[in-house]
A = this chain, B = another copy of it.
């Protein structure tokens, strides 16, 4: 499948998060520990928000992240308070820029790890459920892009958890109607540039791994010698497919069938249960 990372907090150089950690996402592109595939070399993408522009910027390319010089350059020069990064392991669909995450719609970004089981079988039916006004935006062939546009169809910009739940319910309904026992497997992240919602869910309740970083103030007390932690606000937060290192106390697992909200003030964690449809 894939690996991803979402950052929200004090503006940092992308390098600090993308390359510096011992088991960084770039390292995971070569040697994932918890993924279904150990290599995630079928394209990558980053998306970040800059001051004065509500639309995030995207850098996406079809080669592996680990040897991409443009990504390395940007990581050394771009600072951002909110960014997504994704490395892809294709399960057969074309390796092309339009299949690289994150996907974008206006100020919204979306990325995904997982799969819709039997997607070739139900791709047409799901695609037809995308709002016709959004149809022209579909450029690739991934289940993820369709999931994003279904969530947009169901009101992502009004109520993200409800829209994602409806998307998940629809995928499960259509999949089961085609005899697929466990249609959906997903960890996903969406953002409007202000808050980040992350979801961990699968029809079989055996979801891909997902972790969040613990509160920075608690980490600082545990590790007073780590300079980097002193630069971060207490609310800064990472959500990752797998931990970026072995720092004791740094990571907590996102519970099965739940979603989190990262936002100014207290973050939240809730149960995620797509309505049986």
Contacts and interface: CB of A to CB of B under 8 A. Distances in A.
A136 B142 CA distance: 11
A39 B28 CA distance: 12
Interface stretch (A54-62, A151-159, A235-243): A54-62
Contact of A97 (B31, B38, B64, B96): B96
Contacts of A275: none
Contact of A41 (B39, B76, B128): B39
Interface string A69-113: 110011011100000000000100111111000000000000000
Contacts of A97: 69, 94, 96
A135 B55 CA distance: 32
Contacts of A77: 50, 53, 57
Interface string A182-215: 0000000000000000000000000000000000
A94 B96 contact: yes
Contact of A42 (B62, B67, B121): B67
A249 to B, nearest CB: 30
Contacts of A67: 41-42, 90, 95
A77 to B, nearest CB: 4
A264 interface: no
A76 B52 CA distance: 11
Q: Find the residue from A39, A67, A69, A128 having the highest chain B CB count within 10 A.
A: A67
Interface of A: 30-31, 38-39, 41-42, 50, 53, 55, 57-64, 66-67, 69-70, 73-74, 76-78, 90, 93-98, 120-121, 123-124, 127-128, 132, 135-136, 138-139, 141
11 contacts: A30-B38, A38-B39, A53-B76, A57-B73, A57-B76, A59-B70, A70-B70, A93-B139, A96-B96, A120-B136, A127-B127
